[in-house]
């Protein structure tokens, strides 16, 4: 035991050699030449005293800066993997130009309170261009910044992965590992048996692991409930108990932007 401690102390001192301006105080301990804080402490064991290195203010600051850097790198990595469309990494609540609307506030609150074990499923529905995907991407980014894993995907993206995979099961299983999954533009795909089966399997994979999922769809809840398509009905009944429907309304933001650009061009002529 004492031998092990001696080795540990020797190794620790070896790894923490004095810097150029460090000096020894009257107590025989090493002091930092920069912040003047003590860099060693005394440990007595079986009547023998050893010195062990401890962190001065500079060391603590350096360690904190390194941890912050590593955290930022990790978040960047996670965002890189979360979106296949790199532009979506930049969708944040800060860049939301309709911050004031209720649904934007609700989305921000959802991200701030996100808990993989408790958060609800969301069905963001509404017309084209009302910002459903934007809000879902904002939530995805904010959740990643809190350290959770997330992925923003679509059925057509998953279909490509299935097509390339030797074992389809691994594709569905991989969807279970994320704390949050966003399925963008659900039901935009062809209504073939094949595509509907994929939709059902994706939804089912998330249902079985009971992890929060956000679905954006250009379709209303009524459309789903009364859908003449039996597959859609089956899918909706699977998620009905979990999902909280959010209607996203407003003018088509893409059209508004296009009009503004065109008007700007006119007036500058
Ligand atoms: Zn120091």
What's the rounded mean pLDDT across residues 18-36? 95
Distance from the alpha carbon of residue 203 to the mean position of ligand 1, in angstroms: 55
Q: What is the per-residue pLDDT for 16?
A: 85
Question: What is the share, in percent, of the chain residues with pLDDT greater than 70?
Answer: 93
Q: What is the per-residue pLDDT for 251?
A: 64
Q: What is the per-residue pLDDT for 214?
A: 97
pLDDT averaged over every residue in the chain: 89
Per-residue pLDDT for 258 more than 70? no
Task: Tell me which of 17-26, 60-69, 257-266 is least confident.
Answer: 257-266
Q: What is the per-residue pLDDT for 3?
A: 80
Distance from the alpha carbon of residue 53 to the mean position of ligand 1, in angstroms: 12
Per-residue pLDDT for 266 more than 60? no
pLDDT in tens, 82-105: 999 889 999 999 998 887 889 999
User: What residue spans of 23-84 are helical by DSSP H?
Assistant: 57-82
Choose among 46, 55, 32, 40: nearest CA to 9. 40
Per-residue pLDDT for 171 more than 60? yes
Pairing state between β 40-45 and 48-53: antiparallel
Q: What is the per-residue pLDDT for 20?
A: 92
- Per-domain residue ranges of the chain: 2-54, 82-257
* Distance in angstroms (rounded) separating the CA atoms of residues 259 and 251: 12
Distance from the alpha carbon of residue 51 to the mean position of ligand 1, in angstroms: 17
Query: Under DSSP, is residue 154 helix (H, G, I), strand (E, B) or coil?
Result: strand
Distance from the alpha carbon of residue 75 to the mean position of ligand 1, in angstroms: 30
Q: How far is CA 211 from CA 43, 52, 204, in A?
A: 49, 47, 11
The CATH superfamily holding the domain 82-257 is P-loop containing nucleotide triphosphate hydrolases (3.40.50.300)
Distance from the alpha carbon of residue 200 to the mean position of ligand 1, in angstroms: 59
Per-residue pLDDT for 5 more than 90? no
Which is higher by pLDDT, 138 or 131?
138
Query: Under DSSP, is residue 38 helix (H, G, I), strand (E, B) or coil?
Result: strand
**What are residue 186's DSSP bridge partners?**
217
Q: What is the pTM of this model?
A: 0.81
Which is higher by pLDDT, 225 or 147?
147
């Amino acid at each position: 035991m004492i031998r092990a401690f001696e080795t540990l102390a020797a190794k620790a001192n070896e790894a923490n050699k004095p810097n150029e301006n460090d000096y020894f105080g009257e107590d025989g301990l090493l002091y930092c030449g920069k912040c003047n804080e003590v860099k060693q402490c005394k440990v007595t064991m079986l009547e023998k005293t050893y010195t062990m290195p401890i962190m001065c203010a500079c060391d603590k600051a350096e360690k904190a800066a390194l941890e912050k850097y590593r955290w930022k790198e990790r978040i960047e990595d996670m965002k890189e993997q979360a979106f296949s469309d790199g532009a979506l990494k930049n969708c944040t609540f800060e860049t939301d130009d309709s911050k004031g609307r209720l649904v934007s506030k609700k989305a921000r609150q959802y991200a701030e309170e996100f808990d993989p074990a408790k958060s609800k499923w969301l069905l963001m529905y509404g017309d084209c261009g009302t910002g459903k995907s934007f809000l879902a991407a904002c939530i995805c980014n904010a959740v990643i910044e809190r350290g959770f894993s997330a992925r923003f995907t679509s059925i057509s993206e998953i279909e490509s992965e299935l097509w390339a995979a030797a074992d389809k099961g691994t594709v569905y299983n991989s969807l279970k590992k994320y704390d949050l999954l966003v399925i963008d533009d659900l039901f935009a795909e062809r209504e073939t048996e094949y595509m509907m089966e994929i939709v059902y399997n994706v939804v089912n994979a998330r249902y079985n692991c009971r992890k929060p999922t956000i679905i954006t769809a250009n379709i209303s809840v009524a459309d789903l409930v009364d859908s003449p398509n039996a597959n859609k009905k089956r899918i909706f009944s699977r998620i009905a108990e979990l999902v909280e429907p959010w209607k996203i309304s407003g003018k088509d933001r893409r059209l508004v932007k296009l009009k503004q650009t065109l008007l700007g061009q006119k007036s500058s002529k």
